[in-house]
C-alpha cells in the first residue's frame, strides 16, 4: 500500500480487548527513565557550565559552539525514531537505552571539550530516539479516555531529571573527588537496570495491526524517500503546524532554561547553591504543571489547555527576567516552569493523536527531533548573542524577555489550525477524521467537521 493511499486502510483495525491495568502500569514504569534522563543529561550542561569551562580551560563562546554538535544528536535520533515504523517500537527502546548508557559513561571520561561534545552527541542520539518512541508506544497502548493522564505521568519525569541535577548541586555534590564527572557516572547503574527490565516490554498492538508484512531491506535512497514520505501525504499540513508549535515552544524553553542559572549568578548575584536550589524548585514545580496539563487536556480538551499554558508561560517569563529581587523572582520562575515546561503533555498529544499508526512515529520524529530540536538549539544561541556585552541588547535578562515572546504565535496556530483530538481512538490505521469539539463536551462531535486529512476549520 502506498503511504498516502486510502480505501481499505480507512477501516479501523483494532486488536481484541484492551491491555490490563497491571501491564499499563508496568509499561509506564519501564518508560519513565526515558523522560527522566532526557532532561537530566541536558540540564547538567547548564548547571555545570562553570565547572566545564574550568576543567577544559575554554571560554564561554567555545562552550556555546559545542552545544551545536551536541544538539545535532537529536537530528540523527530522527532516523532511529523512523525505524520504529519499520522494525517496531520495542527493538528501538531496547537498544537505545544501551547506547545511551555507553555514551553517558564515556562522557565522564572526556579529556577535552570536543571529546565531551562527541560523547554527548551520541547520548543525545539515543536518548532522543528512546524518548520519542516511548511517547508513541504509550499513546498507542493506553485507552483514549486515560491517554492524557498517562502521557502527563510519563512526561512528569522529564523535569524530575532537572530536579535531581539541581538538588545535587544545591547539596554540594560537586565537591566529590571526581567533580562534574561523577554526575554522569551516577546514571550508569540505574540505566543498566532499566535495560534488563525492559525485556518485559511487548510490542505495540496498534503497530502489529498496521504491519501487514515483514519489513524488507531498503537501499539508502529508499530510506531517504521514506524519511520524507509523510510530506507527500494529506498529513503534511498537520506536521507543519505542530512542528511550528514545537519550534516556537523550543526556542524560549531551551533559551531561558539554558541561561537562567548564569543570569541568576552573574546579574542577580545569587550564590551557586541558592541558584541550584531555585533551579530544582522550578523543575519540581514544573512537574505539577505536567500533572495539571494531563488532567486539563482530558477534561477541557487539548486546544484550550495548550493556549492557556502558552499565555501563562509568556507572562511569567517576562516578569522572571525583569525583577531584581530574587524572592520576588521566585514565584514567577515557578510559574514559568509550570506553564512553559508543563505544556509538554499536550504538545506530545498533538504529535501522536493527529496521525495514523503507519505514519505516527515518522510525524513525531519530524515534530520533536526536527522542528522542536531546531528551536532548542537556536534558543540558547539567540539569548547569548543578543545578551552579550556587545550584543544588540547587551543584557541576558532583556534578551531572555524578548525570546520569551517568540512562543506567542504558537497559541494562534493551536486555535486556528488544529482540530481537537481528545478521546481519539488510535487503533485505526487510516487517515484520521478529526471532529470539532467544545471544551468539556466529552469528545462528542460538534457542529463542524472536517474532511479527511484536513487541518480543521478555524473558529
Domains by residue range for the chain, with CATH: 19-205+224-417 (1.20.1250.20)
Return the pLDDT at 76: 79
Q: Residue 266's Cα: distance from chain center in Å?
A: 29
Q: Facing residues of 435 across strands?
A: 449
Q: Give the tens place of pLDDT for each residue, 299-331.
A: 888 889 999 999 999 999 999 999 988 899 999
Return the pLDDT at 115: 93
| Stretch 5-31: mean pLDDT | 57
Return the pLDDT at 73: 83
Q: Which of 89-93, 175-179, 386-390 has the highest mean pLDDT?
A: 175-179
Q: Facing residues of 449 across strands?
A: 435
Spatial separation of the C-alpha atoms in residues 285 and 287, rounded to whole Å: 5
Beta-sheet strands, E only, within 55-99: none
**Three-state SS at 435:** strand
Residues whose CB is less than 8 angstroms from the CB of residue 328 and which lie 6 or more positions away in sequence, other chains included: none
pTM for this model (two decimals)? 0.66
Spatial separation of the C-alpha atoms in residues 176 and 182, rounded to whole Å: 8
Spatial separation of the C-alpha atoms in residues 289 and 286, rounded to whole Å: 5
Alpha carbon separation from 152 to 35, 351, 393 (Å, rounded)? 11, 14, 37
Q: Give the tens place of pLDDT for each residue, 126-161.
A: 888 887 788 777 777 777 777 767 776 776 677 777
Spatial separation of the C-alpha atoms in residues 356 and 410, rounded to whole Å: 23
**Three-state SS at 449:** strand
| Stretch 229-240: mean pLDDT | 81
Least confident of 226-230, 238-242, 372-376, 443-447: 443-447
Q: Give the tens place of pLDDT for each residue, 186-224.
A: 877 777 777 777 777 777 777 777 665 555 555 556 556
Closest-CA residue to 363 (of 378, 376, 348): 348
Q: Is the pLDDT of residue 411 over 80?
A: yes
Return the pLDDT at 452: 32
CB 81 within 8 A of CB 365: yes
| Stretch 57-61: mean pLDDT | 70
For residues 276 and 334, the model is more confident at 334
CB 119 within 8 A of CB 103: yes
Beta-sheet strands, E only, within 207-257: none
Q: Is the pLDDT of residue 279 over 90?
A: no
Return the pLDDT at 90: 80
Least confident of 120-129, 354-363, 434-443: 434-443
* Radius of gyration for the alpha carbons in the chain, expressed in angstroms and rounded: 21
Amino acid at each position: 500500500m502506498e503511504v498516502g493511499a486510502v480505501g481499505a486502510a480507512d477501516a479501523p483495525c483494532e486488536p481484541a480487548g484492551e491491555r490490563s491495568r497491571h501491564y499499563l502500569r508496568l509499561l509506564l514504569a519501564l518508560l519513565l527513565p526515558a523522560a527522566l534522563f532526557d532532561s537530566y543529561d541536558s540540564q547538567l550542561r547548564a548547571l555545570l557550565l562553570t565547572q566545564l569551562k574550568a576543567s577544559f580551560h575554554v571560554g564561554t563562546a567555545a562552550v556555546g559552539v559545542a552545544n551545536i554538535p551536541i544538539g545535532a544528536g537529536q537530528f540523527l535520533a530522527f532516523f532511529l525514531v523512523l525505524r520504529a515504523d519499520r522494525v517496531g517500537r520495542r527493538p528501538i527502546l531496547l537498544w537505545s537505552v544501551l547506547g545511551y548508557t555507553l555514551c553517558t559513561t564515556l562522557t565522564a571520561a572526556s579529556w577535552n571539550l570536543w571529546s565531551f561534545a562527541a560523547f554527548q552527541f551520541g547520548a543525545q542520539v539515543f536518548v532522543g530516539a528512546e524518548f520519542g518512541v516511548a511517547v508513541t508506544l504509550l499513546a498507542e497502548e493506553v485507552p483514549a479516555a486515560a491517554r492524557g493522564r498517562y502521557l502527563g505521568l510519563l512526561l512528569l519525569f522529564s523535569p524530575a531529571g532537572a530536579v535531581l541535577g539541581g538538588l545535587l548541586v544545591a547539596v554540594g555534590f560537586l565537591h566529590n573527588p571526581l567533580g562534574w564527572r561523577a554526575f554522569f557516572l551516577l546514571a550508569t547503574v540505574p540505566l543498566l537496570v532499566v535495560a534488563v527490565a525492559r525485556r518485559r516490554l511487548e510490542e505495540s498492538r496498534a503497530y502489529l495491526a498496521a504491519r501487514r508484512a515483514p519489513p524488507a531491506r531498503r537501499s539508502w535512497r529508499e530510506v531517504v524517500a521514506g524519511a520524507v514520505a509523510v510530506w507527500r501525504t494529506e498529513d503534511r499540513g498537520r506536521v507543519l503546524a505542530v512542528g511550528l508549535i514545537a519550534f516556537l515552544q523550543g526556542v524560549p524553553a531551551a533559551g531561558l532554561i539554558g541561561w537562567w542559572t548564569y543570569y541568576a549568578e552573574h546579574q542577580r548575584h545569587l550564590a551557586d547553591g541558592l541558584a541550584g536550589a531555585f533551579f530544582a524548585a522550578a523543575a519540581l514545580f514544573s512537574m505539577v504543571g505536567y500533572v495539571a496539563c494531563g488532567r486539563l487536556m482530558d477534561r477541557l480538551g487539548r486546544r484550550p489547555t495548550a493556549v492557556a499554558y502558552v499565555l501563562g508561560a509568556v507572562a511569567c517569563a517576562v516578569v522572571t527576567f525583569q525583577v531584581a529581587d530574587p524572592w520576588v523572582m521566585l514565584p514567577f520562575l515557578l510559574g514559568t516552569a509550570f506553564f512553559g515546561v508543563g505544556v509538554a503533555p499536550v504538545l506530545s498529544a498533538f504529535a501522536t493523536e493527529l496521525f495514523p499508526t503507519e505514519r505516527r512515529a515518522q510525524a513525531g520524529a519530524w515534530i520533536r527531533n526536527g522542528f522542536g530540536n531546531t528551536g532548542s538549539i537556536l534558543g540558547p544561541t539567540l539569548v547569548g548573542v543578543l545578551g552579550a556585552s556587545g550584543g544588540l541588547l547587551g543584557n541576558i535578562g532583556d534578551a531572555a524577555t524578548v525570546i520569551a515572546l517568540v512562543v506567542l504565535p504558537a497559541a494562534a496556530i493551536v486555535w486556528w489550525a488544529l482540530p481537537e483530538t481528545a478521546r481519539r481512538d488510535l487503533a485505526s490505521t487510516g487517515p484520521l477524521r478529526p471532529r470539532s469539539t467544545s471544551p468539556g463536551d466529552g469528545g462528542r462531535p460538534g457542529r463542524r467537521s472536517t474532511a479527511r486529512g484536513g487541518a480543521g476549520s478555524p473558529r
